[in-house]
Structure 1
Amino acid sequence: MVDTVTLYRAPTTPADADAIADWLRDRIGAEVRVRDRLLSTAADDDLPEELAAARVTDPYERATGNTMLGIVRYEERALDDPERAGGVVYDGLAVQRALNARLPGERGLDHLHLPLLDRVIGTWGDHDGRWHKRVAVLGQPALLSVPGLYEAPAKPEAYYEAKSKHALMTGDAPPREVLEAEIEGDFLVADDPRTTEALKGYALAAVDLLETGTAFCDDERCRLHDAHRQPGVVRAQLRDPPLCERHAARYG
């Protein structure tokens, strides 16, 4: 049974940890707290090198990491000034292990730590031999990647068709902002005002895993569903009904 949930802010993103905490309080019987950015408060002399070792350097190579001095220095600067971070995918399980060892206070499964991250995280797919970006890596702590919300789920097919057409005609990849303005459809973009709302279901899924031992929901209409395409994220997180019957009975 989860007695306490501690959410951690990601101040360089539009994700509102306090609003997510309020939403969780209405649905679970646990105390919900909010603290400052975990990557800042948990940072020590070794964390930059561990983050450097968790970097995905090749999307088709299982091994990770580049711990050259310059990369470690970059990670040090990014921990101090998160606005400087970006363009890197990290092994989500390695980041999870690194942060688990640095959790403040209780680490038992009755106290869920739930950091919102300003980093992109991924997991390795044994089925296809490549890395996949993720919105969430559940467990202790449960990691919710804010940029992953925009980057991990695939965009509508029209997005990729327009991108290919533009590249064929001009020889260059079109700016992301141009494509986002031209393509109609349901998908989230960087700094989307719907970010906080969309992350609420992932936060509840993290609680549900510790409560029930089940990761995510198979019902595509439920906020505990882990959609792999952007229209699916919009349907699950931003459309009615908010929860399937089973999870509505538990958390509604």
Structure 2
Amino acid sequence: MVEEVTLYRATTTVADTDAIADWLREHLDASVTVSERFCAQYADDELAADLAEARVLDPYERETGNTMVGIVRYEERALEHPERAGGVIYDGLQVQEALGRRIPESEQSLDHLHVPLLDRVIGTWGDHDGRWHKRVNVLGQPALVSVPGLYEAPAKPEQYYKEQQKHALLSGGPPPREVLEEQVEGDFLIEDDPRTTDALKGYVLQAVHYLETGESFCETEGCRLANPHRQPGVIEAQLTDPAFCPEHAERYR
């Protein structure tokens, strides 16, 4: 059983880590604490190189990593000034391993779950289709939860992509994101969405659930423990009632 959960802030995002912790306390018997940004506490001289090694170089190439001096320097600056980072996808499993090595040895047991909220985009490689897929979370110890992944990983409504293609045909380039968000009907999460905190609660709970049960995700579409691949499904699972399917409602009060 998970007895303690430590959440780490993502200071450059709108995610309210304290509110997520309060919600977890309502649904878990575990102790839940909030800590400052993971990388601010545990970064060492090698972390920037480890992150450079985890960079996804091509959406259709499994190999990762660019450890040229300029890239490592970029990662060093991003660790010191996270508001400057962006536009990069990282192999979530490599990042998980790199951060896991930096958790104090006395806190690495599976009864103490560490959950860094990240302001970086993470992904996992799909052997079934030979490409990288952005993710909201990567389960395990530590469990990674990507705030920008919440906006970017689940596919948007089909009309969004139709408008994107139409604009590209007419103008020769992609439209500004803000234009699409105004034109497309249908509910989906956008960058700095005020619903971010509420939507992330279920993804953090999934991390606890996985360590306790070995169950990755719930197959019931509207459950907080579900893993929808499209934005409308995220809205249904994380932001509408009931919060849980009957089975998980009983477990999580």
Q: Tell me, in whole angstroms, the C-alpha distance in 1 between the residues paired with 2:187 and 2:39.
A: 31
How many angstroms does 1:131 deviate by? 0.3
Q: Tell me, in whole angstroms, the C-alpha distance in 1 between the residues paired with 2:42 and 2:125.
A: 25
Q: Tell me, in whole angstroms, the C-alpha distance in 1 between the residues paired with 2:40 and 2:184.
A: 37
Residues 182-203 of structure 1, C-alpha deviations (whole Å, 9 max, x = no match)? 1111100000000000000011
Unaligned runs of 5+ in 1: none
Map 1:53-92 to 2 at 5 A.
53-92=53-92
Q: Which runs of 4+ in 1 moved over 2 A?
A: none
* Structure 1 partner of 2:113: 112
* Structure 2 partner of 1:129: 130
Q: Tell me, in whole angstroms, the C-alpha distance in 2 between the residues paired with 1:103 and 1:15.
A: 23
AA aligned opposite 1:113: H
* Matched residue SS, 1:26: helix
Unaligned runs of 5+ in 2: none
* Matched residue SS, 1:114: strand
Count residues in correspondence. Answer: 252
* Structure 2 partner of 1:10: 10
How many angstroms does 1:172 deviate by? 1.3
Identity across the alignment (%):
70
* Structure 2 partner of 1:220: 221
AA aligned opposite 1:183: V
Say whether residues 1:29 and 2:29 are aligned partners.
Answer: yes
AA aligned opposite 1:46: E
Q: Tell me, in whole angstroms, the C-alpha distance in 2 between the residues paired with 1:234 and 1:121.
A: 21
How many angstroms does 1:41 deviate by? 1.1
Q: Tell me, in whole angstroms, the C-alpha distance in 2 between the residues paired with 1:88 and 1:49.
A: 15
* Matched residue SS, 1:19: helix
Q: Tell me, in whole angstroms, the C-alpha distance in 2 between the residues paired with 1:200 and 1:63.
A: 32
* Structure 2 partner of 1:93: 93
AA aligned opposite 1:70: G
* Structure 2 partner of 1:49: 49
How many angstroms does 1:170 deviate by? 1.0
* Structure 2 partner of 1:207: 208
* Structure 2 partner of 1:147: 148
TM-score when scaled to structure 2? 0.99
* Structure 1 partner of 2:181: 180
AA aligned opposite 2:46: D
Deviates more, 1:181-190 or 1:87-96: 181-190
Residues 110-159 of structure 1, C-alpha deviations (whole Å, 9 max, x = no match)? 00001100000000000000000000000000000000000000000000
* Matched residue SS, 1:144: strand
TM-score when scaled to structure 1? 0.99
Q: Tell me, in whole angstroms, the C-alpha distance in 1 between the residues paired with 2:202 and 2:80.
A: 30
How many angstroms does 1:103 deviate by? 1.0
Q: Tell me, in whole angstroms, the C-alpha distance in 2 between the residues paired with 1:171 and 1:142.
A: 41
Map 1:152-167 to 2 at 5 A.
152-167=153-168
AA aligned opposite 2:3: D
